[in-house]
Structure 1
Amino acid sequence: MNDQCVSRPPGLRAWLGLLATLGPVLLVAMDGSVLFLAMPKVTEALSPSADQALWILDVYGFAVGSLLVAFGGIGDRYGRLRLLMIGVAVFGVASAGAALAPGPELLIAFRALMGVAGATLLPSALAVLSELFTDRRRRARAIGIFAAAFAAGFAIGPFVGGQLLSRFWWGSVFLINLPVVLLFLVLAPFLLREVRTVRAGRVDALSVLLSAAGLLLTIYAIKHAAAEGPTAATAAAGVAGVVGLGWFARRQRRLEHPLIDFSLFHDRVFTVAIITGLLPLAAWSATAYLAGVHLQSVQGLPVLDAALLTIPGAAVLTVTCVVTPALVGRIGRRAALITCHFCVAAGLLLLLPLSADASAGTGWYIASTIVAGLGYGVSFSVVADTAVSAVPPERAGSAAALAETGNEIGNALGIALLGSLATLLFRLQGPDLADTLNETLRIPGLAPEAIGDAKAAFVTGLHVVAATAGALHIALGVLALRWIPKSSPGTGDAGEEHLVEATGGESGGVR
């Protein structure tokens, strides 16, 4: 952000620039969830293995989350608008490649490339936005619109995917990105200006490599062991991943300008805020994916009907995200964070009545998404602000970047860890004919008993995942109740100014 700029009311160009920026933001968010209902169709077309199916879902989130902070620093040094334009172009190319991928391996590769491009968009878009809105209050309002658009994109992803799949082939969920990409590339040079900041130090390439490789190797080991059982190669990958993450954490403590400032976690309010950014996204991504499979493969609903059932929860989440800032002004961030976790827990536990009976379950699913949507909406709205207000102003940028990174990593970890738990339970309790429910149901001449066993095993996995995530949210709600004092830096209004400055001047978060 240019601190020298004179505050002035935003004109038509600023609002049009905001509108243009929201397009890529919606795409990045939507592509994190658009496959939740599309996976049965993708599985039918490409026949991925159980661990490949999980990689298709979550490699995107891992790429975004592991590179957000790094690309924030690169944009500071070489120009935010330039990086934003390159990122959007690469996102479009990768989307076209994913749509036309002939097999699961290439689809995974293009999803990873989409994630790399997506990691360039969020911090750069926020910095460019801050140049358009130099007035602090209007900038805060624009950032609020930005955050609501991100939340709405993630919420409507399953619905958009279902709508497209009811009319077109599975690749259409990626091709829909191209018109938005082309429109942005045409309009951005006229509506947006370049933004650079003087930033001390440089991005540590070894830290980026260690964090990305450590995450991917560790998750690969977990997913491969869950799908096919433990092997020597799996164990070696897991050990290498853990060592890489340990090396990364140790290196950050020695660097003058680390990618992640771990000393921030000494503050309990900050720690609760970051975990609140991570855990709800993990629970949402895992249960949304598994519930989508349940609606289509257990209850036998067409993809369009399954998509329509996601609307109430998405609407509640989006509205909650918009009204939460006003609500927080009345009840405080502490009460909002605690309410967030207990709402999500209650919503997740409403999935427990789902069964293998094809004639029942939609009512429980809708109730679950509505109740949990209240908690998810609060999480989107208050996490970054709470994290930023819990630390000194000079560290606000690092806090905001960590809040955003926690959200993205949480989205990927939900599929990776909780999805792997469901896969493991299906492998242990299912009819042992294939690694996943959809693969089992495609076997010709399958006996009714085997179909029933496969569906029952899948529902057991869904129940265990929902119960585990719900218990974690209850525990975190109790932790917030104990750790966050009724009057603390993280529960007042001091963070708004810091958040605006952080998201404008560094690789800040959007939520």
Structure 2
Amino acid sequence: MTGRQWRGIAVLALPTLLLSLDTSVLFVALPRLSAELGASSTEQLWILDIYSFLLAGFLVTMGAIGERFGRRRLLLAGAAAFGVASILAAYAPTPATLIGARAVLGIAGATIMPSTMALLRSLCPEQRHLNQALGIWFASFTGGMMLGPLVGGVLMESFWWGSAFLLGVPVMVLLLIVGPAALPEFRDREAPRPDLPSLAMSLAAVLLIIHGGKTLAHHGWSATAVAEVAAGVAVALAFVRRQAVLAHPLLELSLFRNRTVATCITVMLGGGVVMAGAELTATLYLQSVLGLTPLQAGLWMLPANAAMAVTALLAPVLARRWPVVHLAGGGLLISAAGMLVITGAGPYDGIGRLVTGLTVATIGLSLPMSLLLGLMLGAVPVDRAGSVASVNETGGQFGIAVGVAFLGSVATAVYRHGLPPGAEPVRESVAAAAGTPFLDVARVAFTDAVHVVGVVGAVLFALMAVLTLRVLRRKPALEPVG
């Protein structure tokens, strides 16, 4: 690759690392900022969730806007908004102000995520260079998730809680300075203005489904949460019908008729479902079953995150020797094996098997992640790269929400089924069993739940491997793009 390409990749990797770090660093800062701002439990949830809700809700919209008004221009505008909102969040005097600042950060993040991937497509027209760039992109994203709790801990030890939000300011300033010279611009001057009803429908569908899914996962089945999800699905179907009849749709449904694109999005979504559910139950297991502190639990999750970042960098190198479809299918089978390893964890001594299983599963999943995205971006014209990137990111957000709701509900059902009669005080969660006579039986019941999640995850990964190998088996490892 040329020096300009490397500079562009470095510039695009920085905001990617920051966006993931900005999410995970808040987990450490939340207790302190909640105490100092006097945030209620409901306000704490909104401080955490409003960012991801609006990030997911605006991805499709921002993908379309970037293609009309310019991807680099949208990225730089989002960077400026992100920097300003970060300062507002750092010095927020009330929980309501912080929630509002986090909302702006989510919208700004939605301009950055698809723009970075689409600009990589323009920056690296050769497939092997695109694979390498996307490997760095994924490694940066994973690295941010890994560094977040550590950086947050250091900042909370030395500064006030608002310092966690100021991390983004110098990065965004640097992006604004070097971005215009280092990044290419892409703009489809003939693209029509985005359809406003479609914008509203896509936002409503995503917000309703994700919020309803999270409510189901955290609070169990309720008529309100189910109605939210059902309403979101209904709006999504209406959105699809509208796109089918518009002369210039917000989302090109023809993208999904491309088998490569449809398969890759399915795998991305499915991988998010399994890993979100697995990480949720693993965190609860480490803290509530094995009795680790949140920080200790976070440290035990580091091997999996580090392995994912390293494998994402190695995947493009491996793709020079083996077909992408074989690496992707084989990686998903490795992930299935890792999920089965988790089923060997016990209620008192399962930390080794749990961490090993999660690490193997993330290694396997990181092989197809960047490579399949490279195939997907390479399978469409360059002017549709923004749409593909936004759909991929939206699918990832949906996958996380569905994984938390679905596998979280499965784990809860198995846990409750394993409790004996009279254990009503601990039926809500295994954490409630601490200090009660039901602690041992609750540990066993939740460990059984972890095993079931491992089996379900292994089956889903195996099915995705079969789908990938069957549908993409004729896809060469490397092919020119554009």
For Structure 1 versus Structure 2, the TM-score category normalised by the shorter chain is: 0.7 to 0.9
Q: Summarize the Cα distance change of 1:228–1:95 in structure 2 as closer, same or farther, 3 Å threshold.
A: same
Q: Which residue of 2 aligns with 1:4?
A: none
Work out the CA distance in 2 between the residues paired with 1:458 and 1:65.
Answer: 31
Whether 1:148 and 2:136 are equivalent positions in the alignment is: yes
Partner amino acid, structure 2, of 1:371: V
Whether 1:262 and 2:253 are equivalent positions in the alignment is: yes
Q: Which residue of 2 aligns with 1:415?
A: 404
Whether 1:273 and 2:264 are equivalent positions in the alignment is: yes
Within 5 A, what are the aligned runs for 1:25-424? 25-31=16-22, 33-34=24-25, 48=41, 53=45, 60-95=51-86, 110-126=101-117, 133=123, 136-137=125-126, 141=129, 144-145=132-133, 147-165=135-153, 168=156, 173-188=164-179, 196-228=187-219, 230-357=221-348, 360-390=349-379, 398-422=387-411
Work out the CA distance in 2 between the residues paired with 1:116 and 1:274.
Answer: 22
Q: In the alignment, is the contact (CA less than 8 A) between 1:72 and 1:120 conserved in 2?
A: yes
Q: In the alignment, is the contact (CA less than 8 A) between 2:56 and 2:206 conserved in 1?
A: no
Give SS of 1:248's match. Answer: helix
Deviations 1:215-252 (A, max 9, x none): 32234334434544555444443332221111011112
Work out the CA distance in 2 between the residues paired with 1:447 and 1:302.
Answer: 16
Q: Using the TM superposition, give the Cα deviation of residue 395 of structure 1 relative to its aligned residue in structure 2, in angstroms.
A: 6.0
Q: In the alignment, is the contact (CA less than 8 A) between 1:165 and 1:172 conserved in 2?
A: no
Q: In the alignment, is the contact (CA less than 8 A) between 1:66 and 1:409 conserved in 2?
A: no
Partner amino acid, structure 1, of 2:481: E
Work out the CA distance in 2 between the residues paired with 1:240 and 1:257.
Answer: 25
Deviations 1:132-186 (A, max 9, x none): x5x845x963773354233332245144314533662776654433342344345
Q: Under a length normalisation based on structure 2, what TM-score does the superposition of the two structures give? A: 0.80
Deviations 1:303-323 (A, max 9, x none): 554444334323322222222
Give SS of 2:250's match. Answer: coil
Q: Which residue of 1 aligns with 2:471?
A: 484
Q: Using the TM superposition, give the Cα deviation of residue 366 of structure 1 relative to its aligned residue in structure 2, in angstroms.
A: 2.8
How many residues of Structure 1 are paired with residues of Structure 2 in the alignment?
A: 473
The RMSD of aligned alpha carbons is 4.0
Partner amino acid, structure 2, of 1:90: A
Q: In the alignment, is the contact (CA less than 8 A) between 1:84 and 1:120 conserved in 2?
A: yes
Give SS of 1:497's match. Answer: coil
Deviations 1:459-499 (A, max 9, x none): 44433333322221112222334x3264x2x34423x414x
Q: Which residue of 1 aligns with 2:454?
A: 466
Work out the CA distance in 2 between the residues paired with 1:319 and 1:375.
Answer: 12
Give SS of 1:168's match. Answer: helix
Q: Which residue of 1 aligns with 2:481?
A: 497
Q: Summarize the Cα distance change of 1:400–1:186 in structure 2 as closer, same or farther, 3 Å threshold.
A: closer
Partner amino acid, structure 2, of 1:364: R
Within 5 A, what are the aligned runs for 1:3-18? 10=3, 15-18=6-9
What are structure 1's unaligned runs of at least 5 residues? 1-7, 499-511
Work out the CA distance in 2 between the residues paired with 1:81 and 1:485.
Answer: 32
Q: Which residue of 2 aligns with 1:448?
A: 436
Q: Under a length normalisation based on structure 1, what TM-score does the superposition of the two structures give? A: 0.76
Q: Using the TM superposition, give the Cα deviation of residue 290 of structure 1 relative to its aligned residue in structure 2, in angstroms.
A: 3.3
Work out the CA distance in 2 between the residues paired with 1:103 and 1:433.
Answer: 35
Q: Using the TM superposition, give the Cα deviation of residue 350 of structure 1 relative to its aligned residue in structure 2, in angstroms.
A: 2.2
Q: Summarize the Cα distance change of 1:267–1:23 in structure 2 as closer, same or farther, 3 Å threshold.
A: closer
Q: Summarize the Cα distance change of 1:416–1:176 in structure 2 as closer, same or farther, 3 Å threshold.
A: farther
Q: Summarize the Cα distance change of 1:197–1:308 in structure 2 as closer, same or farther, 3 Å threshold.
A: same
Q: Summarize the Cα distance change of 1:236–1:402 in structure 2 as closer, same or farther, 3 Å threshold.
A: closer
Q: Using the TM superposition, give the Cα deviation of residue 272 of structure 1 relative to its aligned residue in structure 2, in angstroms.
A: 2.0
Work out the CA distance in 1 between the residues paired with 2:30 and 2:408.
Answer: 13
Partner amino acid, structure 2, of 1:465: V
Work out the CA distance in 2 between the residues paired with 1:238 and 1:370.
Answer: 32
My pick for the range that moved more, 27-36 or 72-81, is: 27-36
Q: Using the TM superposition, give the Cα deviation of residue 105 of structure 1 relative to its aligned residue in structure 2, in angstroms.
A: 7.4
Q: Using the TM superposition, give the Cα deviation of residue 113 of structure 1 relative to its aligned residue in structure 2, in angstroms.
A: 3.4
Partner amino acid, structure 2, of 1:144: Q
Q: Using the TM superposition, give the Cα deviation of residue 15 of structure 1 relative to its aligned residue in structure 2, in angstroms.
A: 4.7
Q: In the alignment, is the contact (CA less than 8 A) between 2:338 and 2:356 conserved in 1?
A: yes
